[in-house]
């Protein structure tokens, strides 16, 4: 496989290592970064052989068989759209960017123009297959709760609303729609956006965010009521040591999708 990566953060640099552990390190890896970041990107990947590009056109010209966006919402608005228009399939990690209805439309139109597909990563949450199936039967309600240790919310609006280091009990600091959650908490609400897009939509999906000093994991729970089935999914994702806002399971979910691109049998 020829893999393209957008970004060089924790997710992007860990993904090739996991693939290598599975005996499936891509034969070539091209990485797209912002201007002036090439040296830092090479250092971040360490002993993993990568070719780093600061120009989107040069990156696209290498024709990766799959591009994985593991950067920011800004990358979805720019590089991802260019890759899709050029006919490259893209796996999007920053799903929360699609809370912007205009951007969701732009991604759809870019994929259609390039005769390719934008794949949305399930990230840190499971049960997305059944949620998408339930949508076909008619969904009555979807409620998602994100429960994390207080310091995992550092650098978000929760930092202004709460004394995060001083919390002694679980505190709910946000209740509202998935669209507003993904807009206000872009680094924490990719799961909310994924659940919304797979199920009832951004406006109909209700979200609760909780800072809980009694937990050490990033806990994702959502409950679905539909015509075909009712169910609740709870996952305790272990926080990434490098970035506690991210569940390390996000990278393994990406690895599974990449491995499925070349596997003779996929699940």
In the chain, the domains with their CATH numbers are 2-123+248-261 (3.40.50.720), 128-237 (3.30.360.10)
pLDDT of residue 29: 98
pLDDT of residue 239: 74
The torsion angle over the Cα atoms of residues 253, 257, 260 and 261, rounded to 10 degrees, is -160
Residues of the chain with pLDDT under 70: 244-245
What are the C-alpha distances in Å from 265 to residues 18, 126, 261? 19, 20, 10
pLDDT of residue 182: 87
Catalogue the active-site residues.
220
pLDDT of residue 234: 96
Q: Any binding-site annotation on 260?
A: no
Q: How far apart are CA 213 and CA 171, in angstroms?
A: 9
pLDDT of residue 183: 87
pLDDT of residue 145: 97
Q: Give, as one character, the DSSP assignment of residue 98.
A: G
The per-type count for the chain, helices as H runs and strands as E runs, is 11, 11
Q: Give, as one character, the DSSP assignment of residue 238.
A: P
Element spanning 130, H or E: helix 128-137
Q: Any binding-site annotation on 113?
A: no
The pLDDT tens digits of the residues spanning 172-227 come to: 999 999 999 988 888 777 899 999 999 999 999 999 999 999 999 889 999 999 99
pLDDT of residue 267: 84
Q: Which two tokens stand for residue 188?
A: 């924490």
Query: Is the whole-model pTM more than 0.85?
Result: yes
């Amino acid at each position: 496989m020829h893999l393209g990566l957008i970004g060089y953060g924790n997710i992007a640099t860990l993904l090739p290592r996991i693939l290598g552990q599975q005996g499936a390190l891509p034969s070539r890896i091209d990485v797209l970064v912002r201007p002036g970041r090439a040296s830092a990107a090479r250092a971040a990947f360490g002993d993993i052989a990568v070719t780093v590009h600061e120009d989107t056109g040069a990156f696209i010209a290498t024709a990766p068989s799959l591009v994985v966006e593991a950067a920011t919402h800004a990358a979805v608005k720019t590089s991802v759209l260019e890759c899709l228009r050029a006919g490259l399939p893209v796996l999007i990690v920053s799903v929360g960017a699609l809370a912007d209805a205009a951007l969701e439309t732009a991604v759809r139109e870019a994929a259609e123009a390039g005769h390719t597909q934008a794949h949305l990563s399930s990230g840190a949450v499971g049960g997305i297959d059944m949620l998408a199936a339930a949508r076909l039967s008619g969904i009555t309600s979807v409620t998602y709760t994100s429960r994390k240790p207080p310091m995992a919310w550092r650098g978000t609006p929760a930092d202004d609303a709460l004394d995060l280091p001083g919390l002694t009990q679980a505190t709910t600091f946000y209740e509202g729609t998935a669209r507003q959650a993904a807009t206000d908490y872009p680094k924490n609400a990719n799961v909310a956006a994924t659940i919304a897009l797979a199920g009832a939509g951004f406006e109909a999906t209700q979200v609760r965010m909780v800072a809980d000093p009694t937990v050490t994991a990033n806990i994702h729970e959502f409950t679905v009521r539909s015509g075909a089935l009712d169910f609740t999914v709870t996952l305790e994702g272990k926080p990434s040591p490098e970035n506690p806002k991210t569940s390390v399971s996000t990278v393994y979910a990406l690895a599974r999708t990449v491995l499925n691109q070349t596997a003779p049998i996929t699940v």
